[in-house]
């Protein structure tokens, strides 16, 4: 049986997969960015939990990262559409089906990346914080 952490990450990946962009998890940036854009979910850092006693509970604010990348002509519009659709998807289910207390995204900082011999990239890392509670940090 997968841990709550893995279940949350898998559920988030599945939710992101409904977007028109290609969605990967933990992969390296491919040589070519698909026309609709690319999202790469990174497992991130659960951080140090707050602990309550009686009953024992670990309260996490797990920071995952989603790399958003677009390439080619019209990349500003593609980037805006990709980030907006990401925000809409996250806002549509802030508890990932009741698995966590809250999902909140932080504003991205976009940057332009030149590509030698190719169309430049527009990319950003979107930090997403998963707030959840578990009875064991390993489960």
Task: Tell me the pLDDT tens digit for each residue of 21-43.
Answer: 999 999 998 988 999 999 999 99
Residue 82's pLDDT is 97
> Any idea what the Cα angle at residue 97 is, between residues 83 and 6, rounded to 5°?
80
Asked if residues 102 and 52 have their Cβ atoms less than 8 Å apart, the reply is: no
> Please, which pLDDT band fits residue 72 given cuts at 50, 70 and 90?
confident
> In the chain, how long is the greatest CA-to-CA distance?
61
* Range 97-125 average pLDDT: 92
The residue among 125, 122, 103 whose CA lies nearest residue 112 is 122
> Any idea what the Cα angle at residue 6 is, between residues 122 and 48, rounded to 5°?
85
Distance (Å, whole) CA 44 – CA 28: 15
Distance (Å, whole) CA 124 – CA 70: 9
Q: Half-sphere exposure (CA, 13 Å, Cβ side) for 33?
A: 26
- On the question of pLDDT at 99 being above 90, the answer is yes
The residue among 10, 75, 90 whose CA lies nearest residue 38 is 75
> Please, which pLDDT band fits residue 139 given cuts at 50, 70 and 90?
confident
Q: Which domains are present in the chain? A: 4-134 (3.30.70)
- On the question of pLDDT at 120 being above 90, the answer is no
> Please, which pLDDT band fits residue 79 given cuts at 50, 70 and 90?
very high
* Range 76-101 average pLDDT: 97
- On the question of pLDDT at 118 being above 80, the answer is no
């Amino acid at each position: 049986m997968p841990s709550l952490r893995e279940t949350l990450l898998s559920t988030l990946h599945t939710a992101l997969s409904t977007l028109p962009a290609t969605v990967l998890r933990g992969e390296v940036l491919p040589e070519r960015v698909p026309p609709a854009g690319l999202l790469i979910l990174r497992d991130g850092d659960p951080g140090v939990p707050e602990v309550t006693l009686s009953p024992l509970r670990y309260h996490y604010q797990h920071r995952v990262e989603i790399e958003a990348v677009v390439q080619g002509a019209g990349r500003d519009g593609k980037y805006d559409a990709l980030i907006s659709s990401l925000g809409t998807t996250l806002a549509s289910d802030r508890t990932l089906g009741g698995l966590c207390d809250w999902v909140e995204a932080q504003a991205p900082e976009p940057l332009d990346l030149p590509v030698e011999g190719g169309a430049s990239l527009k990319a950003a890392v979107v930090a997403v914080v998963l707030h959840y509670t578990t009875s064991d940090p390993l489960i």
